[in-house]
A and B are shown apart, each in its own frame.
Chain A
């Protein structure tokens, strides 16, 4: 079975994000880029599935040259092959999904893993969009994944619980934290990954439906009041919550 995993290269969640001088993007200076955290669960699930059922794994990333770092990390964890769809331009979710879908089709991957969202634009839709474009089934936000022949059984996180959801291959699964415990790349893995060639491809120009009008900072929160330094401040806190904020 051919298993694909789509990965993105994003600012570390610990990074402070500043808006660029022209107000049209973010200022990348001083920002460390990493594998999108949810994609690590996707990579791990692809590897586990291959270990159990055999097959071949391929990592696909769309973006600039720098995305090779993330592909290299996927290879070091144990993914067999990697493709970079090289693109420097801004792309909205649907435009990303269209490029990924045509690449996945080329590889005939029956099972495709994504992270449930990229922690940059947070639109959390590329997995579902790609599945629809391919005509694949899709389960998003999976915290448990089981494959039984061509049957797929997942648990997905919902408000106040989980739902068990069933479908069949071909399928796209988007990974939520909790799906598995991503492995660390071994030294051998890192060495092997260094030698591997990451295939580079060009993609069709973006046809975006989302136009970004402006980037803004959230309104600064005014520092509030420190009411006290021990339990004796509690009655005043409760009074403020009832009378000033009127929230309890």
Chain B
């Protein structure tokens, strides 16, 4: 095996996903420690600003291009990556742990007969070996693992690894045109939820629980989210009750998140919920029950009536924004 790291640059609709920059920075870091080279790979049609990868420490990027590849195709993407990994003899492969990365990474791992560790929240090089930390049981427990196979595939949880301060080095983009990609499995349409941010990607999440008392009160959650540029989230109880869509659910059987700020409104903090959000950098809890478990993980709490506190909070945020 050559000493190469392949890092996958995810684009959606021609825009590079932020989590890709985090993965690029991690790849550059491993490369420096192990004296490896990095092969950055993007797949798509037109991709805006692909040379910006250079700002995060990788000087070359391959762009596999075809107008049919603008949307995700598991069959085409995995074949392109497999061929490229073989050609370059890349032995370490990194993906962002996004919905696309989660789908794609295992396909490549199977083709390469590689060990695969998903959703890593820490990665270290010790004695020339990579040790990663992964949350299991939705974060109730962490494991440190290493992969013993010749090829190794890792996915990195978004919003956890620091992409660092961007430099001003443009990377060299080489375009490889792909003729007749294998489109046996192919995305044909994307249905966006009306302009809302997703909890898995947001830096701030405003979540509502059963204390919101009914779906009609979630306009408060949405208004506060919008003011803060946050994603609206929900506890399992309110999703199961049909008040909110499942895509917003935070916790075990929902999404495990690590935003910079998590605001829990009327959420008592069931063990499944805490597991899914406790690694947030700052947690605010507003709940009328002073014994609610959410206060055990909250940095700042207000024990009070959310229907008084949230409107006051909205007013206060409006004041500082104006």
A residues with CB within 8 A of B: 11, 13-17, 19, 26, 37-38, 92-94, 97, 119-125, 128-129, 131-133, 137-141, 143, 155-168, 176-178, 208-218, 221, 223-231, 233-235, 237-238, 240-242, 245, 247-248
Contact of A13 with B253 in the complex, beta carbons under 8 Å: yes
- Known contacts A161-B191, A178-B246, A247-B261, A229 near B282 by CB under 8 Å: no
B residues with CB within 8 A of A: 71-72, 74-75, 78, 98-100, 102-103, 105-107, 109-111, 113-119, 131, 133-149, 184-193, 196-198, 200-201, 204, 228, 246-247, 249, 252-254, 256, 260-261, 270-272, 278-279, 281-284, 290, 295-305, 308-309, 311-313, 315-317, 320
A223 to B294 Cα, complex, angstroms: 10
Closest to A238 in B: B316
Q: Which residues of B contact A228 (CB under 8 A)?
A: 302-304
A121 to B302 Cα, complex, angstroms: 35
- Known contacts A224-B283, A234-B316, A245-B282, A163 near B303 by CB under 8 Å: no
A11 to B301 Cα, complex, angstroms: 31
Q: Which residues of A contact B142 (CB under 8 A)?
A: 215-218
Closest to A128 in B: B106
List, sorted by A's number, 11 A–B pairs whose CB atoms are closer than 8 Å: A94-B113, A128-B106, A132-B111, A164-B190, A210-B147, A210-B148, A216-B143, A223-B296, A224-B301, A245-B282, A248-B204
Contact of A125 with B191 in the complex, beta carbons under 8 Å: no
Contact of A226 with B272 in the complex, beta carbons under 8 Å: no
Contact of A14 with B271 in the complex, beta carbons under 8 Å: yes
Contact of B118 with A164 in the complex, beta carbons under 8 Å: no
A238 to B296 Cα, complex, angstroms: 20
- Known contacts A122-B136, A156-B99, A227-B300, A212 near B109 by CB under 8 Å: no
Closest to B286 in A: A237
Q: Which residues of B contact A125 (CB under 8 A)?
A: 102, 105-106, 109, 116, 118
Contact of B253 with A37 in the complex, beta carbons under 8 Å: yes
Q: Which residues of B contact A124 (CB under 8 A)?
A: 102, 118-119
